[in-house]
Amino acid sequence: MSFHQPSPASSPDPAKGQAQVQYSESLTGNRGDTPEEVLRHRKQDFRTLWRARRRELDPADRAEQSAALTQTVLQWYLPRALHRRAAVVMSYGSEPDTGPLRTALHEAGVEVLVPITEPERRMSWTAWHPGVEVARSPVAPIDEPVGERLGVDTFATVDLVLVPAQVVDTRGLRLGQGGGYYDRFLSGLEQLPQRQQHRRETPVDDAGPAPSAAPITVAMVFRHEFLSHGQVPSDEHDRPVDGVVTPDGFTWFGAEPS
């Protein structure tokens, strides 16, 4: 499989755009009186709209795209795996299915880390393997693996972090579920020494990932969820990712990592 840069989904035509605006306004009613309130409503509208689009994806299409995502990630990552440690979200509901990917990575000798929800909307991580014991999270209605909790410092030896997203645009900005867990985590990654060193040594116009900038952060989405520049509503708290992977390949928001 060749790894090219897939084109982001095209902007909706005016008629569809007007329909989305009407749908959005019907959801929220009062749009807010301050820029912060307006942005919060806009994010929630956008999130609701794209959640609905994801749920409406044909099951066969979802399965095909999930399988293609698995193969795309494996074929790109495994030849480049330095530490052979990767962090992968445990998918739920209509998200791209990461189960086969996690299993394939484990079988290839890669240590797979998965996120654990913690109080105050923060995350830790723990090792995953097929058949791992799980327990209900005390802070979220999900089952999570039981094991040693790892902090952000462990990511100095993680090669790749696959980040969940509803949508992502060509700035590398993503829209998640609204809890802020991953933005806090990504902010923590920025403090790792290798990423700080990379920012000091990399020109502003070429600020993409490099081998010294590990771990590399990549949003994982369906084809129609990769959007054009500026389409994802954002503020200063939203942290960009290094790249995006769709079933058609990777796109990097800077220099492609070697």
Architecture of domain 59-252: 3-Layer(aba) Sandwich (3.40)
Q: pLDDT for 37-60, tens place per residue?
A: 665 767 788 788 888 999 999 999
Say how many C-beta atoms besides its own lie within 10 A of residue 78's C-beta: 15
CA 160 vs CA 65, 114, 155, 242: distances in Å: 20, 12, 9, 10
Residue pLDDT, tens place only, 123-141: 899 999 999 999 998 887 8
pTM for the full predicted model: 0.79
Domain positions in the chain: 13-56, 59-252
Distance CA 149, CA 144 (A): 11
Name the residue among 138, 41, 45, 52 with its Cα closest to residue 93.
Answer: 52
- Residue 84's pLDDT is 96
CA gap 135, 233 in Å, rounded = 35
The pLDDT tens digits for 200-239 are 454 434 444 444 467 999 999 999 999 877 678 777 777 8
